[in-house]
Amino acid sequence: MTTTMPTAPAPAQPAHRGSAGGGLMRRLNFGTGVLAGVALAAVAWLLSHSLLDSAGTFFQDQVATITFIGWVVGFLLGIGAFNGPINWFRGRDLTHDDELYLAGKDLGPRRYWKFCTDHKVVGVQYFVMTMIVLFAGGVLAMLIRIQLARPGDHFVNPQIYNAFIGMHGILMIVGLIVAVSGPFGNFIMPIMIGARDMAFPRLNALSFWLLVAAAVPLLAVFAVGGISDGWSTYAPLSVQDHVGMDAFAVGVTTFIISTTIAGVNMVTTFITMRTKGMKLDRVPIFTWGVTTSAALGLYAMPFFAVALTLLLSDRALGTSFYLSFGGGTDWLWENLFWLMGHPEVYVILLPAVGAVLEIATVFARKPLFGYNVVVGGMIGIVGLSTIVWAHHMFTTGWAPALNGPFMLTTELISIPTGVVFLALLGTIWQGRLWTRLPLLYVFGFVWNFIIGGVTGIYLSDVPVDNQMHGTMFVVAHFHYVFVGSVLFGALGAVAFWFPKMTGKYLDERMGRVAFWLVFAGVQVTFISMFISGLMGMQRRVSSYAHAMATTNFISTIGAFVIMAGMIIEAYTIVTSWRSGREAGRNPWRSKTLEWQVPTPVPLENFEVPPVVTSDPYGYGEAAPPLEAPAGHPDATPVTVGAAAKEELQS
């Protein structure tokens, strides 16, 4: 990307008062948020116990719902999320000093524990939170595989096992939704488009702390009875479930509010904050992946919020949206859920695809193959993903006349998906490949996505789905998409952008060990799971026939190999962050804007907004940069004049 980066000083800013900025926010942090959340939850519990009819049918659900809502509201009050609106109502807008304090200026590590509006801080916060959520989901996966290592309920009873299944599912979905768009969509995307911050910095911080608030009700599910219906929580079973379902509904609804706010911010930033000269055909492809994902999430995720709100109404207020004896129907839940549930796959997938394409261009030293076609493919995926939801209901008996049309739309979505995939292969083909850790994850993504994609085409056909639906074959398919593809895209993004976020290289040797363990574990775990499914093993069962003992034991071994790889990956991230090798400003010699700013990135990213004059993938069009790292494909001698050398080295 050819840019003009003026070095003139930034426009003069009003003098700030140092310690005078921030006001009440100086006293608020994560600790005060927890204290306020616990306090308001306790008050909500006491008031609901004293004011509601303790003999009523819905008393427990009412108390649980009010208590967990109290936690969410109290935590947000304690962290300072509502200070801005409160001050606005009081007629007091934020001063320049207040804005600088909110952005974390001169706060050091403390800013990561506060309501901070700097998009780079929010990106790091999302990064750490994603690791925590995925670790919790991974631990539950290990507990599930221990149960399935051999036939019989030898580890836990079926009720606890069902709670493991449901919470593993929702935690992994939550973690993967934010795994790429959370850390890198926040930290990298604004710099990529030449912006100084997100369009709505305070909403950006709010989206993260809503995620933290949502985590407590979700993790509390086990303490209040668990859930018995899987992460899809089908009604009317979920209407009759334990109090844990109330915690689940409040937590997931809070998370959906978080993703909706984040989606509005992402799309608005993309539309309004691109720097001068960055036309739509000059936008880095990762930004397209994040933005199309956010736009699709704005359509899809509220369906689940509506479904959960109606569920809480049935449980706590005595309505009957899903209960047939009161005039309701469970078809309402299934349609609302899957109107979210299938687009959500692409909400998760598109940012990872964008990251993989971005990495491929840099490490193949080639322009992105078919840029316009890729963008069109992403937009096509967004459009078609909204009209495929009923393929999840082929076997339920709902509207059988629509099975054919939904089978067609489901098969059609493989066309734009295949186009994007072929563009990835075209980018790699005959490139000057630099096989560092990020590129290994691209190769892993290619292998796993082929398996996940092809098996998905089988399941889109009604006759095949009638045989495979509800079996472990389906579980293996979507784990190849989520773990094999999305997780590999996310880990590739970590290896690629880690030097920009931290100033350190991710340890290459340990990173490769983690890669090969996770890659091998995915193949062992889920190929064996395909075989179990073909043998007829149903999903969400705590025991099975002895004929399937061998494949399940192999899947369990593979799952522990994945976990070992992820533990090594986490260790590599932590140690590299603390004491890794210094990376410099642009270790990969990439042309996108985030690599053109200093590391660490200044508070406002650019002193003067850059001017873009070409697309970001013109590799090979000009002389390679001086002093490329050893082993880099551009590490070739170049003869330049003194003035040009000084310019390049600056």
Condensed to tens digits (0 to 9), the pLDDT of residues 231-255 reads: 899 999 999 998 999 999 999 999 9
Instruction: Give me the phi and psi of 210, to 5 degrees please.
Output: -65, -40
Decide if pLDDT at 620 tops 70.
Answer: no
Q: Which residue has the tokens 């980066």?
A: 5
pTM: 0.92
Please tell me the predicted confidence (pLDDT) of residue 217: 95
How would DSSP label each residue in 415-463?
A: HHHHHHHHHHHHHHTT------HHHHHHHHHHHHHHHHHHHHHHHTSHH
Q: Which residue has the tokens 């008050």?
A: 43
Name the 3-class secondary structure at 611.
Answer: strand
pLDDT tens for each residue of 632-647: 444 333 333 333 334 3
Integer angstrom CA distances of residue 547 from 152, 467, 539, 555, 558: 13, 19, 16, 14, 19
153 contacts 542 by C-beta, under 8 angstroms: yes
618 contacts 593 by C-beta, under 8 angstroms: no
Please tell me the predicted confidence (pLDDT) of residue 468: 93
User: Cβ–Cβ contacts within 10 Å for residue 402, how many?
Assistant: 13
What is the mean pLDDT of the segment spanning 441-460? 95
Please tell me the predicted confidence (pLDDT) of residue 649: 44
Mean pLDDT of all residues belonging to the chain: 90
Q: What band does 21 get if pLDDT is binned at 50, 70 and 90?
A: confident
Please tell me the predicted confidence (pLDDT) of residue 621: 55
Residue burial 86-114, b: 16+ Cβ < 10 Å; e: rest: eeeeeeeebbebbbbbbbbbebeeebbeb
Please tell me the predicted confidence (pLDDT) of residue 635: 39
What is the mean pLDDT of the segment spanning 474-478? 96
Q: Which residue has the tokens 């799309």?
A: 267
Which residues, other chains included, contact 231 with Cβ-Cβ below 8 Å and sequence gap of 6+? 165, 166, 167, 168, 169, 170, 173
Decide if pLDDT at 476 tops 50.
Answer: yes
245 contacts 227 by C-beta, under 8 angstroms: yes
Decide if pLDDT at 630 tops 80.
Answer: no
What is the mean pLDDT of the segment spanning 165-179? 95
Q: What band does 311 get if pLDDT is binned at 50, 70 and 90?
A: very high
Please tell me the predicted confidence (pLDDT) of residue 192: 97
Choose the weakest-confidence range: 16-30, 50-64, 543-557, 583-597.
16-30
Query: Is domain 115-579 classified as CATH 1.20.210.10?
Result: yes
Please tell me the predicted confidence (pLDDT) of residue 185: 96
Q: What band does 20 get if pLDDT is binned at 50, 70 and 90?
A: low
First-residue to last-residue Cα distance in the chain: 17
Please tell me the predicted confidence (pLDDT) of residue 12: 43
What is the mean pLDDT of the segment spanning 365-377? 95
Residue burial 413-448, b: 16+ Cβ < 10 Å; e: rest: bbebbebbbbbbebbbeebebbebbbbbbbbbbbbb
pLDDT tens for each residue of 339-360: 999 999 999 999 999 999 999 9
Decide if pLDDT at 543 tops 60.
Answer: yes
Decide if pLDDT at 622 tops 60.
Answer: no
55 contacts 309 by C-beta, under 8 angstroms: no
Q: Which residue has the tokens 């059988």?
A: 400
Decide if pLDDT at 55 tops 90.
Answer: no
Please tell me the predicted confidence (pLDDT) of residue 54: 84
**How far, in Å, CA of 354 to CA of 293, rounded?**
10
Of residues 251 and 628, more confidence is placed in: 251
Decide if pLDDT at 229 tops 70.
Answer: yes
Q: What band does 128 get if pLDDT is binned at 50, 70 and 90?
A: very high
Please tell me the predicted confidence (pLDDT) of residue 485: 95
